[in-house]
Amino acid sequence: MINVRRVDIHGVPFIGFRGTFSSKKGLPRLEEDLIAVNLMKSKGVYAKVFTDDGRVARVRLNDFKHMSLLPSLHPDSFTQSFVSGSILKKAERLLENYPIILARAQKMQEAPINWGGLPFDFNFCDAMVVATADYPNGKWEFGERGALYPFEQMNIHPSAVVLHYGQGIFEGMKVFYSKQGRLVAFRPQDNAARMQRGAERLCMNPIPTDFLIEAVKATVIGNKRLLPPYGVGASMYVRPFEFGSGPKLGVKPAAEDTLCIFASPVGPYFKGGLTPITLLVESNSRRSAHGIVGNIKAGGNYAPSMLVAKEAKKQHPEVSEVIYLSSDGQNKIEEVGAANFFAIEEESDGRIALIRPRLTGTILPGITRDSVIKLAKAFGYSVMEKDIAIETVMRGETIVGAFCTGTAAVISPIGKIIMENGSEAKEVSFNGGTVHPVAEKLYHALTALQVEDWDNEALKDLPKEFIDEVKKEWVYVLEE
C-alpha cells in the first residue's frame, strides 16, 4: 500500500484569474472559470505526488476529477499543497501508473511539537520561496522562474560564484503570533534595507523591499502550521539569503542571482534564555578590519569565527561566545561573536548610561541593536556611542554590567568576561554574576513590543508617543 504524504500542484494559470474552481459536477461555474481551467490544462499544469518511500511522481491536472488551485504570490504562477482528503486517495491510485522519479520526497513533521524544548537550530520547514534575477539590473519576479515551493534540496551549478568566491548574503528575522491574535514580523523593512546594502557591496541585484516582504509573507503562510503559539517562548525564524547562482570561473559577479527564503520554529539562541553568559576575549583573531565587509551580513564573515568559538569553548567549557577586538591595535571591543555589544556604565552622579561601540564600518549595524538604543532612550537612559577599551571593562570600576544583542539572542546578559594574558587568565564579573536590572528591563520591554503585548507591565514607563511609533514602524502585520 502506497502512503502518499502530499500532492503539490504547479503551473501557469490564465493571467488575471484568481480564486478557486472545480470540475466537479453539479457546481455552478462562470464562463471565465471554464476558460481558465482549459487554459491551465493546455499550459501544462501538473502535480507532484510525494510518498513515504522517497518517490515523487508527476501527473497531469486532468487526471484529477476535483482540483482546488489558488495563485501564490503572482497571478502567473501558483503552488498549492494538499496534505489530506480525497485527492490523496486519488493520488495513491495514480502513482502506480506514473512511477517517474523526480526527486526525494519531503516528509512533513506530523508528531506534536514540543514548543518549549526547541533548540535554536533548523527544526522543520514545509515550504520555501525561490526567485531569480539576471545581473546587472535584473528584475526580481515570480512566475515560472520563482514561487513558493515545497521545502527540498536545491540544484546549483558546480561553478556557481557563491561556492567559489563567497558571493552571498543573508538575513534573519523573527515572526510571532502576537497577543492581539495577529501574525507579525519585527522590523522587516530594516532587514530589507540592510540586505540591499549587502547586495550592492557584493555586486548582486538588490531586492526591492516590497518584493522581499511579500516573499517573506508567502514563506510564513506556507509554514503556518509550524508557527509557535503565543506565549510558549518560541518563535519562527525566517532566513532570506541571496547568492550568486550563475556559473563563472574567473573572479567576476555571477550573471544570475537567486533569492531563497525558508523558515523554522526555534527556541532561545542561548540555553536558558535570560541567564548570564560567559565570554572570552579573543586576543589573536579579528572579526573584520576597515575597508572589508564587516558591516554587512556576508556569509564569509561567519565561517572564520567557527574555529575561534570552538577553540574558546575547548579551553573554557563555560564560555558561550568570544569578544572580538579592533584590528587597529588599540584593543577596543567590537562585537560578540554574531551579536552587538553594550556596556552598562555607572556615572559619577549615580546615573546609568549605556555605551555601545562606534559604527566604523567593521561592525554590523544590528536591527536589535538599534531597537535597544531607541528603547533605552525612551526609558530615559543616557546612550552613548564611543570606543570601549577592553582594559576599562576588565577593571570593573565604572562598567557595572554588559549584554549583547541580536535577532537570535534578543538581549543576552553577560555575567562574566575572561581575558587571557599568557599563562594567566583574568576575570571580571558583573552584578554578582546575575542579570543586571537594566538588561532585564530592556529585555522584557523589547520582547513585549515584538508580540504586541501593549498592556505588559514592562512597558508602563514608556511614553505613549514611543509606543505609537513602535506600532506604526516596528510591528509589521503579515496577517490579521
Among 48, 90, 217, 297, which one carries the catalytic annotation? 297
Judge whether 105 and 55 are in contact, CB under 8 Å.
Answer: yes
- Within its chain, how far is the Cα of 129 from the centroid? 13
Shortest CA distance to 154 belongs to which of 125, 119, 130? 130
Judge whether 120 and 269 are in contact, CB under 8 Å.
Answer: yes
Q: Is 271 annotated as catalytic? A: no
Strand 399-406, strand 382-385: pairing: unpaired
In angstroms, rounded to a whole number, what is the distance separating the alpha carbons of residues 41 and 19?
16
Q: What is the DSSP string of 207-250?
A: PPHHHHHHHHHHHHHHTGGGSPPTTSS-EEEEEEEEEE-SB-SS
In angstroms, rounded to a whole number, what is the distance separating the alpha carbons of residues 309 and 78?
43
Shortest CA distance to 302 belongs to which of 340, 338, 261, 336? 338
Supply 28's cell numbers.
455552478
As a 3-state breakdown, the chain gives helix, strand, coil percent values, each rounded to 5, of 25, 30, 45
Catalytic residues: 297
